[in-house]
Amino acid sequence: MRRFRLTHRAVALVIGLASLATFASASDVLVIVNATVDHKRGNGITSGIFSNVQIGEAVTFVGGASAESATVPPIGARHSLIDHETFYLQMGSVSQTNAIYLDGAFLSVGNDFMVSGLAPYDALTMVFATLNDGSVTLSLFDLTAAMFSTNDIRLLTGNYVQSLPLSNLYVANPGGNNQGLVCRLNNVEVIQKSQLGQTLCSVATPNSTGVQGELTAEGFDHAYANDLTIRGTNLPIGQFGMLVGSKTTTAPTAVANSQGFVCLGGNVGRFNNQIKAVGSSATAPGVGVILFKPDLDAIPQQSGFVPATAGETWTFQSWHRDVVGGAATSNFTTAVAVTLR
């Protein structure tokens, strides 16, 4: 089986122009669960990092899924593929960011789900396999069939609370044997991928394309998800760009030997592993596009790498090479500030 780890993603190399504009994340939806360890099943978790977790401790679970339909579901249900690269589980003071690829795994949403001999009910379930044959299973049920108005996860955004005692988050003991911890659901939130952030440094100087380079953000603003895409547009095709970031902003400041302004201050980090060539947009040929995927678990700073945490606002800007009037120069895009939660 193939293993994914959220906190140790492969370093992005300089990639070809054709592939830049088609880059996309596998997670279209996040399911975020806040729960409390309620009781043990069997002997509970007897090995691994969660073996000392106590009844009553807080639990946070984040799971990702794509909007792609998976398999033929039963009547009243719809299945979507699990994204094993987007996984986070914290129980008490211990956290895990490992999920194992499980063939055929999916997120299932049932609206007026029909089961022989039972009245229709609503349900949301998803299963992640973890290291050493453990698993995390979310079960959210509503016997009144009033929780959902659709079985399409792409249309479900908001907060949900279980109405059935069987609803829980179950963390199975490594090795299985029907042992683990049963967690009471306090809140289940469904978040769709969206545009994020606030545009700053709008005084950016036009580059050789005749317009200013613009930077936007999309993905999820949840720090645990570590799923953020920074998109630069209106850039000179074929030139190279780099992402920089800081928690501090300043008034637009001119940079020596450059055509643009920088709006970052304080401890400014350079994402050296995100140096990329500007490619042509797949939807608007001739428009230069560059895409960055900053690792929020390891943001470069002058003092080293730091993780982004909930409540912080990180501002990003892109520096890029350019040629104006036959002379080599550089420029900066606008900036985008993203507050994490």
Sign of CA dihedral 235, 236, 238, 239: negative
pLDDT attached to residue 318: 92
pLDDT attached to residue 13: 21
Residue at 77 is within a domain: yes
pLDDT attached to residue 205: 87
* Location of structure tokens 């005749």: 210
Range with the poorest average pLDDT among 69-78, 236-245, 319-328: 69-78
Q: Is 328 helix (H, G, I), strand (E, B) or coil?
A: strand
Give yes or no: residues 159 and 239 share one domain.
no
pLDDT attached to residue 284: 66
Q: Is 212 helix (H, G, I), strand (E, B) or coil?
A: coil
Give yes or no: residues 172 and 212 share one domain.
no
Reported as a single tens digit per residue, the pLDDT across 207-245 is: 988 889 999 999 888 888 888 899 998 999 988 899 999
Q: Tell me which residue range forms the domain holding 215.
A: 8-25+194-339
pLDDT attached to residue 148: 87
Give yes or no: residues 225 and 96 share one domain.
no
Reported as a single tens digit per residue, the pLDDT across 17-61 is: 222 233 334 788 899 999 999 999 999 998 889 999 999 999 999
Residue at 15 is within a domain: yes
Residue at 1 is within a domain: no
Range with the poorest average pLDDT among 1-15, 172-186, 312-326: 1-15
Give yes or no: residues 117 and 174 share one domain.
yes
Domain edge (last residue) among 192, 222, 250: 192
Q: Would you say 140 and 188 are in contact if contact means Cβ atoms under 8 Å apart?
A: yes
Domain edge (last residue) among 129, 158, 192: 192
Residue 16, pLDDT > 70, answer no
Q: Would you say 214 and 232 are in contact if contact means Cβ atoms under 8 Å apart?
A: yes
pLDDT higher for 274 or 251? 251
Residue at 116 is within a domain: yes
Q: Would you say 200 and 186 are in contact if contact means Cβ atoms under 8 Å apart?
A: no
163 burial level (CB within 10 Å; 0-12, 13-18, 19+): middle
Domain edge (last residue) among 170, 192, 214: 192
Residue at 2 is within a domain: no
pLDDT higher for 23 or 99? 99
Give yes or no: residues 16 and 99 share one domain.
no
pLDDT attached to residue 97: 84
Distance separating alpha carbons of residues 139 and 113, to the nearest angstrom: 14
Give yes or no: residues 177 and 230 share one domain.
no
Residue at 213 is within a domain: yes
Q: Which tokens belong to 329? A: 């120069």
In degrees rounded to 5, what are phi and psi of residue 188?
Answer: -125, 125
Average pLDDT, the chain: 83
Residue at 170 is within a domain: yes
Give yes or no: residues 246 and 134 share one domain.
no
Most confident segment among 16-20, 114-118, 147-151: 147-151
Range with the poorest average pLDDT among 67-71, 112-116, 181-185, 257-261: 67-71
Give yes or no: residues 149 and 12 share one domain.
no
Give yes or no: residues 226 and 188 share one domain.
no
Give yes or no: residues 34 and 172 share one domain.
yes
Reported as a single tens digit per residue, the pLDDT across 58-68 is: 999 999 988 77
**Beta-ladder partners of 100:** 3, 129
Give yes or no: residues 184 and 224 share one domain.
no
Task: Considering only the C-alpha atoms of the chain, give the largest distance between any 2 of them, rounded to a whole number of Å.
Answer: 77
Average pLDDT estimate for 300-310? 88
Q: Is 205 helix (H, G, I), strand (E, B) or coil?
A: coil
Residue 15, pLDDT > 60, answer no
* Location of structure tokens 């994204």: 83
Residue 1, pLDDT > 50, answer no
Give yes or no: residues 164 and 258 share one domain.
no
Cα-based angle 182, 43, 101 (whole degrees, multiple of 5): 60
The confidence band for 256, taking pLDDT boundaries of 50, 70 and 90, is: confident
Count up the domains in the chain and report the number.
Answer: 2
**Cα separations (Å) of 338 from 30, 100, 199, 310, 311?**
18, 30, 9, 11, 10
pLDDT attached to residue 215: 92
Reported as a single tens digit per residue, the pLDDT across 102-111 is: 877 889 998 8
In degrees rounded to 5, what are phi and psi of residue 157?
Answer: -130, 130
Distance separating alpha carbons of residues 322 and 324, to the nearest angstrom: 7
Q: Would you say 124 and 115 are in contact if contact means Cβ atoms under 8 Å apart?
A: no
Residue at 117 is within a domain: yes
Most confident segment among 97-101, 180-184, 241-245: 180-184
